[in-house]
């Protein structure tokens, strides 16, 4: 059973984590924007890890879920740094990263910064660089204006969301800081096995994003699977079965 762990950060904030002991490689799950460590995919992966005897760690981002912090002060850089701390402090040996939506963006940075630790990477509806392209387009569609113009006069805006009735809050701080972490316009220095999963009916992040990501990854063992009829969440029973099957394949590769 996963055990709760509170990871203290240098500024006094605390990250709430769930850790399952077991054999390596360890599974590390990174959820999407406004997704908690108790989401369907996170729980499905933890249950699979428990059945197969693998270690697993997941956490709530700063400012969300059970972790402390002010969401409107959050940045992508903060979330990357926090995730690195979880990786460095709560895992040992090889790790397989599983990143969903925005979590895939964070996972890419972890894999680049800790290449000796990462035995494999699986992305689900990957959304790297979404603050620089997808989000401005959605803002213009919803308001008729441009996000850039809005943020010259305002510190935040609320984007309509199918997942939260009150919408998603995006701050100028988060959007401007995320520009420091864009990855798709360069080669991403990751050579471990990578598996990208994306639904053909994803209305939030089109499948073309994962295709572009695949082109930016130089590793020879990189595969994209398009899931017919799958939406952004990819949480149907068949989607979860595909996910755990993909993780099993990466585990076998890591074992040699």
Extract the residue ranges of the chain whose pLDDT is less than 70: none
> Would you state the pLDDT for residue 256?
76
Instruction: Convert the pLDDT of each residue in 144-176 to its tens digit.
Output: 889 888 888 989 888 777 777 778 889 999 999
* CB distance 209 to 203 below 8 Å: no
DSSP 8-class letter at 127: -
161 is an active site residue: no
Q: Which of 82, 129, 202, 239 is catalytic?
A: 202
Q: What are phi and psi of 203, to 5 degrees?
A: -90, -15
Neighbour-count burial for 99-137, b at 16+ CB within 10 Å, e otherwise:
bbbbbbbbbbbbbeeeeebbbbbbbbbbbbbbbeeebbe
Q: Which of 129, 210, 232, 239 is catalytic?
A: 232
202 is an active site residue: yes
Among candidates 66, 55, 6, which has minimal Cα distance to 31? 66
> Would you state the pLDDT for residue 142?
75
Among candidates 28, 208, 209, which has minimal Cα distance to 109? 28
For residues 118 and 134, give the distance between their C-alpha atoms in angstroms, rounded to a whole number. 28
For residues 98 and 26, give the distance between their C-alpha atoms in angstroms, rounded to a whole number. 11
Q: What stretch of H or E contains 136?
A: helix 134-143
Report the length, in residues, of the chain: 256
For residues 138 and 161, give the distance between their C-alpha atoms in angstroms, rounded to a whole number. 11
> Would you state the pLDDT for residue 30?
98
> Would you state the pLDDT for residue 66?
97
Among candidates 215, 218, 239, 240, which has minimal Cα distance to 228? 239
Domains observed in the chain: 3-129+185-255 (3.40.50.1820)
Q: Which of 16, 35, 67, 101 is catalytic?
A: 101
204 is an active site residue: no
At residue 135's C-alpha, the angle toward residues 161 and 177, to 5°, is 115
> Would you state the pLDDT for residue 157?
83
For residues 101 and 104, give the distance between their C-alpha atoms in angstroms, rounded to a whole number. 5
One-letter-per-residue 3-state SS of 34-85: CCCCCCHHHHHHHHHHHHHCEEEEEECCCCCCCCCCCHHHCCHHHHHHHHHH
- Beta strands of 95-213 (E only): which ranges? 95-100, 118-124, 156-159, 168-171, 194-199
Q: What stretch of H or E contains 7?
A: strand 3-8
What pTM was estimated for this model as a whole? 0.96
For residues 26 and 94, give the distance between their C-alpha atoms in angstroms, rounded to a whole number. 7
CA pseudo-torsion sign 230, 231, 234, 238: negative
């Amino acid at each position: 059973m996963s055990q709760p762990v509170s990871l203290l950060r240098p500024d006094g904030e605390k990250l709430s984590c769930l850790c399952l002991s077991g054999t390596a490689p360890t599974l590390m799950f990174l959820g999407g924007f406004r997704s908690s460590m108790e989401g369907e995919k996170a729980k499905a992966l933890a249950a699979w890890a428990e059945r197969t005897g693998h270690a697993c760690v997941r956490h709530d981002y700063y400012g969300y879920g059970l972790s402390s912090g002010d969401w409107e002060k959050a940045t992508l850089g903060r979330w990357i740094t926090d995730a690195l701390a979880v990786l460095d402090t709560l895992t040992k040996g090889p790790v397989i990263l599983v990143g969903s939506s925005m979590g895939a963006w964070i996972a890419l940075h972890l894999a680049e910064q800790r290449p000796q630790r990462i035995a494999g990477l699986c992305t689900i509806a990957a959304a790297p660089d979404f603050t620089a392209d997808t989000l401005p387009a959605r803002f213009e569609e919803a308001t008729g204006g441009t996000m850039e113009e809005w943020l010259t006069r305002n510190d935040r805006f609320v984007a309509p969301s199918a997942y939260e009735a009150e919408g998603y809050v995006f701050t100028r701080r988060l959007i401007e800081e995320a520009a420091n972490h864009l990855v798709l316009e360069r080669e991403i220095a990751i050579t471990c096995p990578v598996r990208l999963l994306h639904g053909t009916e994803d209305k939030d992040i089109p499948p073309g994003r994962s295709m572009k990501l695949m082109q930016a990854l130089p590793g020879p063992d990189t595969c994209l699977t398009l899931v017919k009829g799958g939406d952004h969440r990819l949480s149907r029973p068949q989607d979860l079965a595909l996910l755990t099957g993909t993780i099993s394949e990466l585990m076998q590769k890591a074992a040699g």
